[in-house]
Amino acid sequence: MSAATRPWAAQLLHLWFHRLRPAQWFGRNASLDEELRRRFGRQLVALGNRQPAEFLGDPLTARAAILLFDQCPRNTLRDDPKAFAFDPLALAICKGALARGWDQGLTVPQRQFIAMPLMHSEDIADQLACLTLFAEFGSPFLLSFARSHWRMIAKFGRFPHRNEVLGRKSTPAELDAIAAGHAW
């Protein structure tokens, strides 16, 4: 496959899929957070108010934009309500990429990150679509994460672990869910 036409997209895809190890994708890592902030923070802010169609001209730009708007804010804006501000854009690009079949033929990790905005959505329909996709990956480990996210939305209609940072009041049942480890 050819290289992404936008330099930031090529750099982000290379960093995410060739330089980082899977263990680095989800844990807290201050140095990675800072690197993402330094290298991609300007693009996040500059491009975050654009229309999804702008990122759906080619598969590589779409994949990079999903990472930029879904994963980068969770690292660069950790513990800030703005970490979720780009979710609607990431979700729209995700759905556009999936509708175009741009996840087909990719590695499981690449497909996983195209679909990740569905897992991060607090909409039950998105969660159901996520379950279907993650079941296709053939990884019981990854499917277990999709199921745990779906369960939280099915039970609470939202992710309880986001409540504090988003200024939402948690119910006792939500606090119990967080204490039980449902705080990705």
Question: Is the Cβ–Cβ distance between 4 and 61 less than 8 Å?
Answer: yes
Positive or negative, the CA dihedral 27, 165, 179, 126 is negative
CA distances from 38 to 12, 61, 75, 91 (A): 12, 20, 12, 24
Non-local (6+) Cβ contacts of 110 within 8 A are 17, 63, 103
117: pLDDT strictly greater than 90: yes
Give the chain's domains with CATH numbers. 1-120 (no CATH), 122-184 (1.25.40.10)
Predicted TM-score (pTM) of the model is 0.95
Per-residue pLDDT reduced to its tens digit, 52-101? 999 999 999 999 999 999 999 999 999 999 999 999 999 999 999 999 99
Per-residue pLDDT reduced to its tens digit, 1-57? 466 779 999 999 999 999 999 989 998 999 999 999 999 999 999 999 999 999 999
Residue among 64, 63, 50 nearest 100 (CA): 63
Buried b (16+ CB within 10 A) or exposed e, 107-134: eeebbbbbbbbbbbbbeeebbebbbebb
> What span, in angstroms and rounded, lies between the C-alpha atoms of 97 and 103?
7
- Give me the mean pLDDT over the 118-125 stretch: 98
